Structures are given as C-alpha cells and as structure tokens.
Structure 1
C-alpha cells in the first residue's frame, strides 16, 4: 500500500468523509472514534510542525504516543488556510464532506471565513462540530482552556482526594476525553437527524459542560444540600462498605451496594455479628458509622493476604477486585479478550471500546500519519470543485 492510501476497516460510518481540523487531545479523541468505526478522516494540519502533540512525549520509535494514540487511521494534509490556493482546496473538501470537526477557540473559524453559517451555505448537509473549553456561548466562551483548567473550574478537582489532603487532578485528562466523547455522540446524533431532515447542523460541545455532566455524586450533593461536597478519598458517598481496604500484603476493593451483600460479606470473612450490629444493619446506619465499620473490617482483613480475600469474598457473590496498576490492567486476559490492546503503526495502544455486531474489530490498525503524508494525493483529489449533491 502506498503512502497516499489508507486502508479503512468497514464500519457503520463507512462512506463518510470527515474533515478533521482538531488538534491536541479533546477533538482528535472524538474523531478517532469516527475513524475506528469506518469513516474516512482527513486531518488538516498547519504548516511547520503540524499538530502540537507531534512534539510531545513519550516517544516510541520516534513516534509521539500522545499524537499516535488519537490520530490512528487518519490521513494528513498540510494546508495554509490563509493562502488562496489552499483555501480553495479546503472549500472543495467542504463541498463533499459529511462532517467538519474543529476545536479552535470560538471566533477563530469565523475570522478565517469558515464559520458554520458560511460553510453550511456551500454544503447544507454538513455536520459542523465545534468542541472548545467553554462552548460557543456564555461569558467564558473565548477563554483559553486546557484539561487542568476545566478540571479546576468544574469542581471535580476540589472533590477529588482525601479530606486531609489538597484538591487533586483526576489521573487522566478527563475533561479533554469527556469533551471528545460528547463531540462524537453529537456528531452521530446530528448524522442520524440528517437522515430524516436532509439538513446539516452545528454541534456545540464544551469540555466544561462535559465535565459537569460527569460530576454525578458531586452535583447530587450540591442539589440536595446547597453546598459543595467534601473530599472523602476512595469511599462511596452514599453506600458502605464501598471502599479500598488493606489486606496483610496490599490493598484491594470491596463494594457492597445493599444490605444483602453486606450480610454475605460478613459471613464470608467470619464476622457474621457485624450484620446484626445496630450500627450497621441498614445502609443508612452504615453510612453514619462508616469510619467505625471500616475499622472493624480492617481488623479481620489485615490477617490474610489480598489473594485469599479476593477468592473468599468473590465466592460469596460480593463484588470485590484487586487494585491494579496500569501495566497490570493492560496485561489482564480480559483486556485481551475485549481487544483493548491493539497495535497501530507498530505501536501498542488502547483499542476501540465500541463493539458493534457485524463489523470487524481488528487487532492491528493503520497507525497515525506522518505530517502531510497524504498531502499530494489529497490536493490532487480536491483540486477541482465538485457540486454538492442536493436532496
């Protein structure tokens, strides 16, 4: 296969043409899902070094994993959108595209002359997706934002950590990734609506909104009390015991979501009297005495190794799990069974979590493109104007 071709796996989005103007993590994560599910995704990069993440570590075989993880299976073309010739190629792409995705600061695309209103005028069926820190409206719309900015302002950082510790960033770029997932779902929704209406739409996604939607318990606490929740470490805010516990050798997790499971846990660890203790009979009782309950459980759990308790508690039908690091999670047989560790361009990376019957989920995928790898072919393909088909 030549460098001008990309072998796309058939999927529900096969036949769709996506113009990907996104960069860094938030947008590319969403467009990679489209690519994994069959769409042709052409990534437009700026002259020079292209997407900033091409220069970010870590590197394997001189490839940036930061870039490779969220740009696999795409084509790359460098276009100077301020140059007349490249602008015309871009507009010809728009005339044929199904989707355009961008995550510039609001106002940037309008400044270039490529707002939704302007591009939908030449392609009324275009799904135009914008993902930014705070969205296209509101007093913070033009504020620059990275993931940590959004985590800090959404409340999720303040509620993460232990009561006697500082606010803590979630251990992944949660706001970026949530924004990318919601951008993908917005695009998919708009494409479905277009099947009925024949019209495109502007999808407006904010990382801030996406993170608020993922707060769940924190927002529940605010609505119920009018106050922000306090940091509580690893335990659940409304169920007990539902926490990280310590065995004689290492930590593991037990989750009892109801009174029945608590009774089974008590019997399994040889402490049946705890289930009839007035302080622990019902979940609300256990929540009011959760610190004492944890102490009682720890007295017993520290007497045996984690592997012993994992077996005993699991056999009792109570949800229990080892506390794994990333390397251990990556090597789990379950990870392999779900094809969640694949190879793309000679680099191992997470697979596609969306499994759809009737479509292949390959173990090996096309890797991320080098800068302007498909530039010559893309420019030739879109050098001439082709009218948009009208319904």
Structure 2
C-alpha cells in the first residue's frame, strides 16, 4: 500500500484530524491515536452505537492503534516525546497555543526530529484575530460565507446536512501531509502545516465567489445558478412527499425534458441563464412533478438524456446499486457496514482494517518504543 512504513502520531479528536489519519491508515500507515484519560476521544460517545463505540467514531478511526497518555504528567509527556521522535507525521486539532503549553509545538518537536511533518487543523488557523475563538464546523462555515448562500425556501440560512468545513479541511490537510512527505525525499526535512477550517470553507466556493470578487452586491441565492435561480438545478416535490432534483442546466437537457412535456416555449427563458426570469419554468415543473410519486417519475425518466436524481434517504444511499457495484460499502465480520476508501488504486489498493481501537488497547507499544 502507498503509505506502508509511514508512522503517524495522532492527537486529534472529533472529525477533521481523525478523518485525515484514517485515510492514511486505510492506505497502510501506522497511526497511533493518543487519547486523553477518561472518555478518550469524545467522538467515541457521539451518536448511535452498533458495537463498542459509536458509528461516528469507527467511521473516522478504523485501523488505528490507541494509547492513553496524560500529557500533564512527566511520564505521559516523556512517552509522547518518544513516539514523536520515531514518527513521520504528527497531527493535532486543539486550539492554537495548547500544544505549546504542553511542550509539543512545532519548534520543539522538529528540533528533536527534523524529518517530522507537523499538521495542525483548527477552526481559524494558528494566527489572526480569531485564533483563540471556540468553534466547530457550523460556525466556521458561517464566518466563511457558506451559510449566506445556503437557504431554504423560506429564505433563511439552512443547517447543512454535511460537516463540510470538517471534511474539506481534513482533505486539504491530507494533501498537505502527502506533499510534505514527498518533498522530504529531496530535502530530508519535514514541515509545518497550518489548516484553517474557515479558510478551507472559503476556498470551497470558487464557483460562487464571482459577485463578491468582482465588486458586485451580495447575491440573492434564490436567483443564482447553483442555489435556486435555475429551473434545471432545483429540488422538486413529488406526489408522495418525496423529492427529486434536476441537476444539469445544459440546454440539451432543457430541450429534452421540456420537449417531452410539450413546453418548448419555455426554453428561451432557460437560455437566458439563471435568474428571476426562470420563475415560470420553475413553477411549471413544480406543478408537473407534484403529479406523480417519486418512483413513477424515476421510471418515467429512464432512457432520457436529462440529469435527474432521487433525493435518497441514508438507507437508500447505502443500498444504491452504483455504490454497491463499485464496492463502496464494506461489511465487517460483525455485519457492520463501512464506507470504503474513496481513492481506488489499480496496483496498490487500500486494505482498510474494519475495526476501531478500544480505548488504550495498544498501550503496550509504548514499552516497545523505548
């Protein structure tokens, strides 16, 4: 596997850091999860459990080793120093300043181990006026402007269903770690990586930043291309209380659907691009789609060249035939389901361990690393 031989010391909790290090474990890295005494990573206890820990925890921590260390004690700090001295990567997600107070800042660890790649993921980054503010995913998305574009039909900012700031910052951090490891081959030195969830969220808006960067007024989401201003990029109700989406605005899709519905007269409104002028098309399609249940509509669309999709429940998503055919859902020996690694290599595929570590299960490795 791609990361065999890479050793990672992971002090992160909740989602962004653990998701990053799990991806590395899936591809062969040895990840040692260092947890605080007591409950360990709070993610162990968040949400539904289907085994020794929550589904949330195992979805971000499979394949790792767990040790508990009290970093306020001399023994705990000494043990962590030994781990870091032999590590390739160090990951932490505490508020800025915490690692320095404990003696595990970048300067200290890199002086001991110059090859170490040191990665910090935080809400607002290691400097700047917000660095000490407490925040999780939702607050960083709000600061980044994401929620100003994410509205319900009532025009009020809506709660996103995905922890986008967590996941996007995690993937930026993963790319940073891999780039630093690659560069280390030439320089012999590691590097310091600082990933801000706020910054990562802002960077995820390249397709909708036009008005702000061009000096235009704040856009009204309901009139914009991907947030409600297009009839062919829209969520529609069906007769059974379900929903479908049209997800492609190319005029060929517009002509195919409106032609079958015998309303080609509406095509010119779509050819003008998104905006309030598409309201008649949206209202027409809303009336049409309310006329049948979701399953009948999906059957009606079969064979048509139109971008359409059902709004699946989580159960339906896990049972999706395309994902199943690609092996995207794995089942462990307990019958529990897991999402497979997304990156699929032809020559060195991932071999994820479908087991999360028990709290402090691998404490004995500390003795092996003196």
Deviation at 1:194, TM superposition (A): 1.1
Structure 2 matches for 1:53-92, cutoff 5 A? Answer: 53-92=43-82
Q: Say whether the 8 Å CA contact 2:3–2:24 is kept in structure 1.
A: yes
Structure 2 matches for 1:59-208, cutoff 5 A? Answer: 59-162=49-152, 164-208=154-198
Question: Which residue in the other structure is 1:342 paired with?
Answer: 330
Question: Which residue in the other structure is 2:255 paired with?
Answer: 263
CA distance in 2, matches of 1:365, 1:162: 39
CA distance in 2, matches of 1:234, 1:338: 34
Question: Which residue in the other structure is 1:245 paired with?
Answer: 236
Question: Does the residue aligned with 1:244 lie in a helix, a strand or coil?
Answer: strand
Cα distance, 1:72–1:229 mapped onto 2, change above 3 Å: same
CA distance in 2, matches of 1:300, 1:61: 46
1:254 lines up with 2:242 in the alignment: no
Deviation at 1:225, TM superposition (A): 4.5
- The CA deviation string for residues 177-198 of structure 1, in whole angstroms up to 9 with x for no partner, is 2221111111111111112222
Question: Which residue in the other structure is 1:329 paired with?
Answer: 317
Cα distance, 1:116–1:32 mapped onto 2, change above 3 Å: same
Question: Does the residue aligned with 1:260 lie in a helix, a strand or coil?
Answer: helix
Q: In terms of mean alpha carbon deviation, does 291-300 or 228-237 score higher?
A: 228-237
CA distance in 1, matches of 2:169, 2:289: 40
- The CA deviation string for residues 53-92 of structure 1, in whole angstroms up to 9 with x for no partner, is 2232212234222222111100011112232233222222
The answer for unaligned runs of 5 or more in structure 2 is none
Deviation at 1:213, TM superposition (A): 1.2
1:291 lines up with 2:291 in the alignment: no
CA distance in 2, matches of 1:75, 1:42: 5
Normalising by structure 1, we get a TM-score of 0.86
Q: In terms of mean alpha carbon deviation, does 130-139 or 219-228 score higher?
A: 219-228
1:320 lines up with 2:308 in the alignment: yes
The answer for unaligned runs of 5 or more in structure 1 is 1-10, 384-391
CA distance in 1, matches of 2:76, 2:4: 27
Question: Does the residue aligned with 2:286 lie in a helix, a strand or coil?
Answer: helix
Deviation at 1:256, TM superposition (A): 3.4
CA distance in 1, matches of 2:52, 2:186: 46
Question: Does the residue aligned with 1:19 lie in a helix, a strand or coil?
Answer: strand
- The CA deviation string for residues 247-291 of structure 1, in whole angstroms up to 9 with x for no partner, is 44442112332222211222233333433xx544x242x634211
Deviation at 1:330, TM superposition (A): 0.8
RMSD (Å) for aligned C-alpha atoms: 2.3
Dislocated runs of 4+, deviation >6 Å: none
1:359 lines up with 2:351 in the alignment: no
Normalising by structure 2, we get a TM-score of 0.91
Q: Say whether the 8 Å CA contact 2:169–2:195 is kept in structure 1.
A: yes
Cα distance, 1:163–1:279 mapped onto 2, change above 3 Å: same
